[in-house]
A and B are shown apart, each in its own frame.
Chain A
Amino acid sequence: MNNTIKYLLITIIAGVSLYNAIYFKKLDEVKKEASNTTFNAKNYANQFFKNDVESFKAINASDFLNHINADAQAYAENNGHKLGISSDYNFIVEGNAIVLEIEEEYIVVELESDQQRLKIATDFIFGNAIREGARRANIGDYQNTMDFNNISVELNNIVREQILPPFLQEVKVSDRIYFKGAAKVNTKRHTNENMKVIPMLLKINN
């Protein structure tokens, strides 16, 4: 009788302590749960280009160049956006322009409003100009800074893979275009010569 109670108690204790200690789940489900909690920079970038780029308020490119050439520091502090402690300020600019030259890494355009010249990058699409110019993300919201960095990688990938190829297939010297894109200005070492706009939107208006 005593032994029966003893074995019953042992079985109950073992059952309670081992309950749910081992269980099986499908690997697909585990992976799906993990990906749901992981930040997806690609989706984030796709949503930005799909929903926000067209309507994003940009600075007129002629006004931008005039202000930057007059007093880059003061204009950048009031109208640009920088990441942390930096002299690199970022802006979103737009304009209508005529294509003057098509080079290996950029095209040179002349703004219709005042004939100032500007380079639009067509290669070496790197950096944070779009993310910072558009003020899309705050580094303090990301536990791992690499998630934050991946936003720029994915934004640039979209420009490289989706925005530029159809444009470059068609564009010719003398074409009239509309552009919207991100420009980075280093207030310590700014020259118009080394500034290029990373395009977010390109339309040929002929």
Chain B
Amino acid sequence: MLQSYYTDGLKVLLSFFLFIAICSCSNTNGSENKRIAVVISTLNNPWFVVLGESAAERAQELGYETTIFDSQNNTSKEAEHFENLIAAGYSAVLFNPTDSEGSVSNVKRAKAAGVPVFCMDREVNSLDAATSQIISDSFSGCVALGEYFVRQLNKKGKYVELLGLVGDNNTWNRSKGFHSVVDHFPDLKMVAQQSADFDRSKAMEVLESVMQSHPDIDAVFCGNDAMAMGAYQALVAAGKTENVMVFGFDGADDVMNAISNKKIKATVMQSPKHMAKVAAELADLYIKGKRDFIPKTPIAVEVVTQENIHDFVAYGQDN
């Protein structure tokens, strides 16, 4: 009787250990109970909100728990997020950096802790820190936008350029792409080039200030759509919407509507949904064992104008 009791107990115990062993084996290679962190430069801009939410959504579809961290365009805040997510044992980071140089140390810290980082939209200036970087081909987009800009202005006129964050490579890739075209037309004069930090309110303030000294501008080239909307608001306030063309970059909802309504001339469509999806799927592959990744994958962008707006949707497709 007693022997039978012990035998049954041993069987139960063995079954329990077997169950635990099976569970732990299935967790080793799968995505169950794994967590992915989504660290976004700022959630104060709808484009980045879509980027973060799309990344989290795709990661959840792949079976991961996700948390979105907002760096508020602050590298110190971003560093705090990395410390916390490394300590919390996240399996991967889908990362939109605040600063191409300043964010490198955060990515390296994650790498040293064995946490792979997949950059989205913005790059970091290091080839061996991030596992892979999925970036918009901002330069080529602004080359195409520059050509459209030149033709719309008939190769002559005065314009203002509103730059994004000066520490972000996208700011300069866009500006240099644009100037690699426009600077070949000597009758197109840039009367002011100022940073508005990719921010709508700052863009409005900066353009209002610039128009005090240059009231006769013909166009404004903005490094993102938030600034394009800010610039447009400044033109509305000054009663100059009919005389000044506004060009943006992103393909955000409000600018796409403004293009449809003939308020803004053009933007460049870069799809946050597509970049987020690719990044989440790469992270999933990493967690499942893949190790050889292409260091940088640019995603093509397209110019959206009042003529071809019907071919596009805001924030683009996810493929």
Q: Chain A: residues with CB nearer than 8 A to chain B?
A: 82-88, 124, 126-128, 139-146, 149, 153, 156, 160
Contact = CB atoms under 8 A, between A and B. Distances in A.
Interface in B260-280: 274, 278
21 contacts: A83-B137, A83-B300, A85-B274, A85-B278, A85-B299, A85-B300, A86-B137, A86-B298, A87-B300, A126-B146, A128-B140, A140-B127, A140-B294, A140-B296, A143-B125, A145-B123, A145-B135, A149-B139, A149-B173, A149-B176, A149-B177
B9 interface: no
Contact of A140 (B125, B144, B295): B295
Nearest to A124: B147
A141 B180 CA distance: 22
A153 B294 CA distance: 24
Contacts of A126: 143, 146-147, 180-181
A146 B173 contact: yes
A143 B296 CA distance: 9
B81 to A, nearest CB: 24
B286 interface: no
Contacts of A144: 100, 125, 169
Contacts of B143: 126-127
Interface in B156-190: 169, 172-173, 176-177, 180-181, 184
B126 interface: yes
Contacts of A149: 139-140, 173, 176-177, 180
A124 B181 CA distance: 8
A141 B294 CA distance: 10
Contacts of B139: 145-146, 149
Contacts of A160: 184
B298 A83 contact: yes
A17 B126 CA distance: 33
A143 B176 contact: no
A84 B300 contact: yes
A87 B294 CA distance: 19
Given A143-B125, A145-B139, A88 B300 contact: yes
B193 interface: no
B297 interface: yes
A149 B180 CA distance: 10
A88 B123 CA distance: 22
Interface in B172-217: 172-173, 176-177, 180-181, 184
B19 to A, nearest CB: 43
A66 to B, nearest CB: 26
A127 B296 contact: no
A147 to B, nearest CB: 10
A86 B299 CA distance: 6
A139 B298 CA distance: 8
A120 B278 CA distance: 37
B181 to A, nearest CB: 5
Contacts of A140: 127, 294-296
A14 to B, nearest CB: 34
A139 B132 CA distance: 12
Contacts of A142: 127
A149 B100 CA distance: 16
A197 to B, nearest CB: 17
A149 B177 CA distance: 8
Nearest to A87: B300
Contacts of B299: 84-86
A156 B144 CA distance: 14
A79 to B, nearest CB: 19
Contacts of A139: 296, 298
A183 B296 CA distance: 24
Contacts of A124: 147, 181
Interface string B117-140: 000000101110000000101011
The 9 closest A-B pairs by CB, nearest first: A86-B300, A84-B298, A140-B295, A149-B139, A85-B299, A84-B297, A139-B296, A153-B180, A126-B143
A123 B146 CA distance: 14
Nearest to A132: B140
A140 B139 CA distance: 16
